Amino acid sequence: MFQSSGYYKIIFLRQNRPPVVRYIPNYEVNISDDLNISFVAIDPDEDNITENITAERIILTGTGGSEPAAARLNFKPSASDIGYYIYNFSAKDVGGLSDWQNGVVVKIKCEYRESATLISSGKWSDGTKTFDYDPTCCDVGDPKTPEYSRLSFKDGCGTAAPS
C-alpha cells in the first residue's frame, strides 16, 4: 500500500535555446522594381529577441572596396542604388544567445533594353514594360566578369543632351 505523507514539488529545468534566423536567399532586382527582403527570426523559448541588420555596398570601380550602406528591406531601387550590397542579419535573445546569417548578396542592376523608346517626359517603354530611366543607357557588360549585368549607365546617358 502506498502512503503519502506530504506534497511533492516537481521542477522542470529548461535550458535556454538560441533564436533561429530563417534562411535568407540572395536577391537580384532591376532598378524601378520592388525589392522585398524577408527577415524572420523566432525564439523557440518565446524569449524577446533583438534583431540587427547591417549592410555595405561593394564599390565596383578601379579602387574596389566597400562602404556602409542603409540596410533597407523593402523599397523601390533607383539608378543611384545600382550595385552589389552585402547584408548581415542577426537575432539575439535576452539570455545572450544568437543566430545569424552573414553575406546575403543583394544585386541591384540596370535592365538593358535595346528597343526602348521615350514615351513621355522621363518615361520609356519597350512595348511590354515602362521604365523611369532610359534602359538603352545601361552598360551591357561582359557576362564572364562579376561586375556583369549592367551595373552602371554608359557615359552621357541619363542626362540632358547638350544644346
Mean pLDDT of the chain: 82
**Mind listing the pLDDT tens digit for each residue in 1-54?**
556 667 888 887 778 999 999 999 999 998 888 999 999 999 999 999 999 999
Q: Is the pTM of this model over 0.85?
A: no
Q: Are residues 45 and 103 in the same domain?
A: yes
Question: DSSP labels for 67-85?
Answer: EEE---SEE---GGG-EEE
Residue 12 carries which side chain, given as an amino acid letter?
F
Residue 30 and residue 104 in one domain? yes
The domain containing residue 119 runs over which residues?
Answer: 111-163
How would residue 138 be classed by pLDDT, with cut points 50, 70 and 90?
A: confident
- CA 163 and chain centroid, separation: 40
Start-to-end C-alpha separation, the chain:
108
Residues 123, 85: one domain?
no
Q: Does residue 156 share a domain with residue 122?
A: yes
39-80 pLDDT, tens digit per residue, is 999 999 999 999 999 999 887 665 667 889 999 999 999 878
